[in-house]
Amino acid sequence: MPLVLHLVRIFALRLLLIEDDVMIGRALVDALSHEGCAVDWIADGQLAEPALVDTAYAAILLDLGLPRGSGMALLRSARARDVRTPIIVVTAKDAVADRIEGLDSGADDYVLKPFEVGELQARLRAVLRRRAGHADALIGTKRLQLNLNSREASFEGHRVALTAREFSLLRALLERPGAILSREQLEERIYGWDNAVTSNAVEFIIHGLRKRLHASAIRNIRGLGWLVPKDSA
């Protein structure tokens, strides 16, 4: 099944891919990883269910035809267990009845195979903006903002292009200004299962962000974690 790898700059996020087609799975992992995303890939319906519940993902890409399980059953189970993570169905099932069933069962979008990766990335951005309550691509506070499309941060008008992991970390903090996120919570947002994490990785990323933005952009709450002040004062 052909995929056109039309790459665009996306976002740095941790994603769950549930897909049993090896060619499609590899293509998506390569494309999304190239753009800085951490992608956990599961090709088995039975193994996918605990991952849906136990790990914090920015979004889930879900095929419907899976070995040892139904993608539609996984979707219904996730929503029944109050999993609120955005779920995009990616499937060859193109009947109108299938699309209606998927969307009514809790999918945030329904993408038909074959597809262009660039379109899937754009749909991910749109779904995440809607879930976060943003009509446009900007999130943040009066002094510190993040552009979800261009992967740029702006502190008091000073714009800085971010690395993938800087973007992912800052996005996690800016989604809830004033909320403290621990090292473990930030690591979970940045790194996938296959990524080795050094003990001071989060501190290193935050040091780089504060150096390039401003020392007050991110505050350390000793013993607890880090936050972006609500007014970035």
* 3 — pLDDT class (breaks 50, 70, 90): very low
Is 110 in the same domain as 27?
A: yes
Residues 52 and 32 in one domain: yes
pLDDT exceeds 70 at position 30: yes
- 96 in a domain, yes or no? yes
Predicted local confidence at residue 32, as pLDDT: 86
The answer on pLDDT for 77 being more than 90 is yes
Is the domain of 23 the same as that of 108? yes
Contacts of 155 (CB under 8 A, 6+ apart): 143, 144, 213, 214, 217, 232
Domain coverage including residue 78: 14-132
Domain final position from 115, 132, 149: 132
> Do both 143 and 34 map to the same domain?
no
Helix axes 71-80, 45-54, angle to 10 degrees: 20
Question: Which CATH number goes with the domain that contains 190?
Answer: 1.10.10.10
Cβ atoms of 59 and 88 within 8 Å: the answer is yes
Same domain, 172 and 72: no
* Residue positions counted in the chain: 233
Residue 160 lies in a domain: yes
CATH number of the domain bearing residue 97: 3.40.50.2300
> Residue 16 and residue 20: Cα distance in Å, rounded?
13
pLDDT tens per residue, range 133-189 = 655 678 889 999 998 878 899 999 899 999 888 988 998 899 889 999 999 888 887
Q: What is the pLDDT of residues 83-131, one digit of tens each?
A: 989 999 999 999 999 999 999 999 999 999 999 888 898 898 888 877 7
For residue 233 the two structure tokens come to 């004062």
